[in-house]
Amino acid sequence: MKVKNCYICGAPDALHYFEGRSETIRVRGMERRVDNLSGWECHVCGDGFWDPDTDSADRYGEAGDELVIAAQKMIGAEMKRIRRKLHLTQKEAVELLSGGGHNAFSRYERGELLPPKPLVLLMRLLDRHPHLLADAEVLAEGADMRGAFTYTVNNDAEALKAS
């Protein structure tokens, strides 16, 4: 067993070599397993690194990158399906739901950009309850705020009486 002093935290004989390990990377509900990884990890501070004499770091990094791209494509396709189901154009979807640049939705749907989690959640809620889109349109216009401004009722009539 190969053991070294940890040069991350300084603990003596704490850095242990491992090999043949499998790690599962998870991104937005998608998983990928990477096998036969080797490296060093500290039993005291928990930090560590892949063995630079192997391709562990490269394979782990590539698997992560591929997973992010796959997740972006999958979520992009889902965004597009739900937007079409709601009969919204990309422009309308930006104005009503996402905000951001005018081409934000187009970039999400092409898988170039991962949409923020609250937007994904909102789209999934609208997918499940499409009738809520009408409520969303009302809320977006601020029509629900009418009740919040009753204190601004103007008192011109009273003022006139007093003078």
Give how many residues touch Zn ion by CB under 5 A: 7
Kindly state whether residue 3 participates in binding Zn ion, applying the rule CB under 5 A: no
Work out how close the CB of 48 gets to Zn ion at its nearest, in angstroms, rounded to a whole number: 8
Give 106-142 as a DSSP string: HHHHTTSSPPPHHHHHHHHHHHH-TTHHHHHHHHHTT
- Residue closer to Zn ion by CB (options 45, 68) is 45
DSSP 8: T
Does 16 help bind Zn ion (rule: CB under 5 A)?
no
Exactly one of 27, 39, 41, 42 binds Zn ion (CB under 5 A); which one?
42
User: CB under 8 Å to 124, separation ≥6 — which residues?
Assistant: 82
Q: Is residue 40 near Zn ion by the rule CB under 5 A?
A: no
What is the per-residue binding string for Zn ion in 44-73, x denoting contact by CB under 5 A? xx----------------------------
Residue appearing with tokens 């401004």: 149
Residue type, 108: Y
CB of 46 to Zn ion, least distance (A): 7
What's the order of all strands across the beta sheet hosting 3-4? 3-4, 15-27, 30-42, 48-50
- By C-beta, is 11 or 71 nearer to Zn ion? 11
Binding site for Zn ion (CB under 5 A): 6, 8-9, 11, 42, 44-45
